[in-house]
Amino acid sequence: MPSTAQDTATDRGRTRVVFFSTQPYDRRFFTRINDERFVDDGFDLVFSRDRLTVESTALAAGADAVCVFVNDDVSAPVIEALRAAGVRTVLLRCAGFNNVDLDAARAAGIAVARVPAYSPEAVAEHAVTMLLTLNRKTHRAYNRVREGNFALDGLLGFTLHGKVAGVVGTGRIGVCAARILHGFGMQVLGSDPYRNPEFEKVGTYVEPDELFERSDVITLHSPLTADTYHLIGKQALDKMKDGVFLVNTSRGALVDTKQAIKALKSGKLGGLAIDVYEQEEALFFHDRSHSFIPDDVFARLSTFPNVLITGHQAFFTGEALDQISDVTLSNLRALVRGEDCPHLV
């Protein structure tokens, strides 16, 4: 008869971690960092491509910890099933924890740790990459030139220098974005319930409404919470300048996608760049090119020439993956040793 997960771990004297929603690069980075820096800790890493759901919790049988990513389901029923499987720790290999029912985890005695920051510059750089691409249409120019079409009609952009950039959420990533935009010669406005002195070196705080009214470009860097859900909906969009560019590399549900589509049709939104999407868990991180897009809202969105979509890749640099692997396994080490883990949520 199989022993319980705790017995199994104790018997082996090793700590077993089952990873969900993994891609080949997760395996590559985590295995290398584990071999290089955690060899004496006795971590056994098991990689599954499955998304964590109630059904897939069976894969966690015999594990001490599970390691999850942004679109894994860590709701109360999943936590209950993990608890029954003997899991004592949930390691988030990301910053956001909106997909975790923290009350349920606390009640189940399951520790939840995250990676609060991993190359915030990488995310900010991607947000600005998207803005530049969408504005100067380099993605379209690339295809044209490859086909021998050197016409410029349809590629007209605007000069960022002298324009107003609104940064919603001036935490780690927002500050990096603000610095870059300030470097372009933009006037930077910020909105955040908490003031960050680092932001004030390059930008000015205003109320959200003023930011919406004055900005030519708005970039979102606040977490998804009950307060920020559909922060960019009809009301906010109505206040914005006609032709405003909106960039979202934070979490999809900050933007009410159906309202954004209406604003694209009316010309209120001049450009929309998103690395995250409300219903992304059904689409992102997998090759679906041989199939069709079952999500009609997403399909409509992708027909606009002034919409640029990437599949949650803002974090995706070697430096960031290195840090994610190192901090995730350091969190596990601290919890296994009963030491203080600074990244508990």
Q: Which residues bind ligand NAI (CB under 6 A)?
A: 95-96, 117, 120, 123, 168-174, 191-194, 221-224, 227-228, 249-251, 275-276, 312, 314-315
Name the minimum Å distance from CB 260 to ligand NAI: 17
Tell me how far apart the alpha carbons of residues 86 and 80 are, in angstroms, rounded to a whole number: 10
272 within 8 A of 256, measured Cβ to Cβ: no
State how far the alpha carbon of 327 is from the alpha carbons of 83, 93, 202, 278, 330, in Å.
24, 8, 30, 27, 5
Nearest distance from residue 234's CB to ligand NAI, in Å? 17
CB 160 within 8 A of CB 153: no
Based on CB atoms, which residue is closest to ligand NAI, 18 or 92?
Answer: 92
Q: How far is the CB of 315 from ligand NAI (least distance, A)?
A: 3
SS3 205: strand
Residue with Cβ nearer ligand NAI (86 or 174): 174
Instruction: List active site positions.
Output: 251, 280, 312
When the beta carbons of 88 and 126 are compared against ligand NAI, the nearer one is 126
DSSP H or E run through 308? strand 307-309
- At 301, list the tokens: 């969105």
CA distance 214 to 164: 7
Least Cβ distance, residue 226 to ligand NAI (angstroms): 10
Choose between 148 and 193: whose C-beta lies nearer to ligand NAI. Answer: 193
Q: Give the containing element (helix H, strand E) for 257.
A: helix 257-266
* β-strand pairing of 111-113 with 187-191: unpaired
